[in-house]
Amino acid sequence: MLLENRPRITNLWSKVVDGENGEWLSRVIVESTRPYEYTLKEVNGSILLECSGAEINMPEGKLEINDGLLREINIAQTGHDTVRVQLSLDHPAMFKHAVYKEFPSRLVISLDRLFITGLLSGKKIVVDPGHGGKDFGGRGQVSLLEKDVVMPIANNLEKILKKTGAKVTLTRSGDKDISGEERATLALNVNADAYISIHTNASADNSVVGAATLYAPHDNGSEKLAIYIQEEIVKKLKVRDRGTAGQPGLARMDKGIPAVEVEVVTITNIVEEVFLRGLTIQERAAEGILNGLIKYFAFDRLNAKGDKK
């Protein structure tokens, strides 16, 4: 067969979508100039698409996804006319696929996100946009205030948590100054399964950058939750990893509620202040926190307070 006649895979991407029947899906789209022969199967927690009679006409290698279910996609030319697309999953998922033969041709793989809704449905999550009112928190060199930027991140987190079926309570909806005691009382009153306080870091040294996650000291659940969230937020935002540490201020939550304070990035650094104003970081920060929560409830669910009756 002439080289020019061979179907070429030209594009590959994924997104989280709502299905036609109300399902919540991770969807992968493989675009090509024409349809090709293929097999699709699950192998050790990965989904393998083996294409034959096709060639790649796009960059080969790894595409990081980190949507809470789908970790990454690898595409490689494995022979002169064979191509392998491997979807690596963080959690098990059922999948379906369909082929659309118009130009460009598309092979669409839809993975259900039931594992995530199964873990988080009914969980009571308190989301705390830090500061408010007269207490504006950190301030960027240009003018951005911490209390203003943590709000859209909290709203995004509330929105994606609701998709999982979690019950979300925000500590504030407007520009109000609430005391630490009031925030803690609220979390204790709703008997929260997790308390997520959203902040940015501030430093007198304006070269300091990066994200950190703080936890209620001497509390195992809080520390584990912080480690997972920190890992996932750094993956999502690609910022410096400032690690995790105890935060004495969260100790008042130390009655079995896993409590963390996420310092998304550092507002006092000019580059990160500009970054913080973007809608992308405000969404990705929320996604990173959600991914941390998923891992926490997936890997620690036997010990998690979420299993209390």
Amino acid identity of 70?
Answer: L
**Nearest-approach distance from CB 130 to Zn ion, in angstroms:** 4
**Nearest-approach distance from CB 64 to Zn ion, in angstroms:** 29
| For Zn ion, the closer CB: 199 or 284 | 199
Q: How many residues bind Zn ion (CB under 5 A)?
A: 3
Report the distance separating Cα 225 and Cα 213, nearest Å. 9
| For Zn ion, the closer CB: 130 or 258 | 130
**Nearest-approach distance from CB 146 to Zn ion, in angstroms:** 5
**Nearest-approach distance from CB 271 to Zn ion, in angstroms:** 19
**Nearest-approach distance from CB 267 to Zn ion, in angstroms:** 9
**Nearest-approach distance from CB 195 to Zn ion, in angstroms:** 15
Report the distance separating Cα 101 and Cα 115, nearest Å. 31
Nearest alpha carbon to residue 285 among 155, 116, 90, 123: 155
Instruction: Identify residues 247-306 at the interface with Zn ion (CB under 5 A).
Output: none
Report the distance separating Cα 271 and Cα 263, nearest Å. 16
| For Zn ion, the closer CB: 91 or 199 | 199
Q: Which residue is nearest to Zn ion (CB)?
A: 199
* Site string (193-232) toward Zn ion, x via CB under 5 A: ------x---------------------------------
Helices (H), 69-171: 114-120, 146-163
289 and 242 Cβ atoms separated by less than 8 Å:
no
| For Zn ion, the closer CB: 137 or 292 | 137
Report the distance separating Cα 80 and Cα 91, nearest Å. 33
Contact between 172 and Zn ion per CB under 5 A = no
Beta strands in the chain (DSSP E): 8-18, 24-32, 37-43, 46-52, 55-56, 61-64, 70-79, 82-89, 95-100, 105-112, 124-129, 167-170, 194-201, 211-215, 241-246, 259-266
Q: Find where tokens 């926490």 sit.
A: 296
| For Zn ion, the closer CB: 7 or 130 | 130
Instruction: Identify residues 106-135 at the interface with Zn ion (CB under 5 A).
Output: 130
Contact between 137 and Zn ion per CB under 5 A = yes
| For Zn ion, the closer CB: 137 or 152 | 137
Residue ranges binding Zn ion (CB under 5 A): 130, 137, 199
